Structure 1
Amino acid sequence: MLGAVVLSGALLAGCGNDSATDDSGASSADKAAAPAAGRADSQVDPQAAPQGEAQAGADAGQGKDTTAQAPDLRVDQRSIIYTGTITIQVKDVNAAAAQATGIAGGTGGFIGGDDRQSGGGGTDTATLKLRIPADKFASALEQIGKLGTEKSRAISTEDVTEQVVDLDARISVQQARVDSGRKLLGQAKSLNDLVMLEKEVATRESDLASLQAKKRRLADLSALSTVTVVLLGPDVPAPAGDTQEPGFLSGLADGWHGLLASLSVLLVIIGALLPWLLVLGPLAWLVVYLRRRHQRTHPLTTPTKPTDSPATP
Structure 2
Amino acid sequence: MRARPALLITTALAAGIILSGCGADSSNDSASSAGMSADGGGEKVAAAPAQVEAQAADPAQGKDTPAQAPDLGVDQRSIIYRGSIAVRVKDINAAAGLSTGIAQTAGGFVGGDNRNSSNTGSGTATLTLRVPAEKFATTVDGLSKLGTEESREINTEDVTEQTVDLDARIAVQDARVASGRKLLGQAKSLDDLVMLEKEVATRESDLASLQAKKRRLADLTALSTITVTFLGPESPGPKPKDDDPAGFIGGLSSGWHALLASLKVLLTVLGALLPWIIAIGLPVWAIWWSYKRWQRNRAPQPAFVPAGGGPLPAHPPASPAADEKPTD
Q: Is this contact kept in 1: 2:70–2:161, CA < 8 A?
A: no
Distance 1:232 1:270 in 2: 41
Distance 1:93 1:140 in 2: 18
Structure 1: tracts of 5 or more residues without a match: 1-20, 56-69, 300-313
Q: Is this contact kept in 1: 2:92–2:117, CA < 8 A?
A: no
Question: How far did residue 71 of structure 1 move?
Answer: 6.0
TM-score under structure 2 normalisation?
A: 0.64
Amino acid at match of 2:85: I
Aligned to 2:236: 237
Q: Secondary structure at the match of 1:152?
A: strand
Structure 2: tracts of 5 or more residues without a match: 1-10, 45-68, 300-328
Q: Secondary structure at the match of 1:273?
A: helix
The yes-or-no answer on 1:97 pairing with 2:128 is no
Aligned to 2:167: 168
**Could you give the per-residue CA deviations for residues 44-82 of structure 1, whole angstroms, max 9, x where no partner exists?**
99xx99xx9xx9xxxxxxxxxxxxxx9662211110000
Aligned to 2:211: 212
Distance 1:200 1:294, change over 3 A: farther
Question: How far did residue 230 of structure 1 move?
Answer: 1.2
**Could you give the per-residue CA deviations for residues 269-293 of structure 1, whole angstroms, max 9, x where no partner exists?**
3332222122221243145336635
Amino acid at match of 2:226: V
Q: Secondary structure at the match of 2:197?
A: helix
Distance 1:206 1:298, change over 3 A: farther
Aligned to 1:198: 197
Which of the pair has more CA radius of gyration?
Answer: 2
**Could you give the per-residue CA deviations for residues 86-142 of structure 1, whole angstroms, max 9, x where no partner exists?**
111111111111111111111111111111122431101111111110011011111
Residue range with higher mean Cα deviation, 73-82 or 112-121: 112-121
**Could you give the per-residue CA deviations for residues 243-282 of structure 1, whole angstroms, max 9, x where no partner exists?**
8996999999888777666555444333322221222212
Distance 2:96 2:234 in 1: 17
Aligned to 1:132: 131
TM-score under structure 1 normalisation?
A: 0.67
Amino acid at match of 1:277: I
Distance 2:231 2:106 in 1: 24
Question: How far did residue 217 of structure 1 move?
Answer: 0.4
Distance 1:201 1:294 in 2: 93
Distance 2:149 2:89 in 1: 9
Aligned to 2:76: 77
Residue range with higher mean Cα deviation, 137-146 or 238-247: 238-247
Q: Secondary structure at the match of 2:227?
A: strand
The equivalences for 1:37-186 within 5 A come to 73-186=72-185
Aligned residues: 258
Cα RMSD for the two superposed structures: 4.1
Aligned to 2:58: none
Distance 1:119 1:223, change over 3 A: same
Distance 1:249 1:271 in 2: 33
Distance 1:117 1:266, change over 3 A: farther
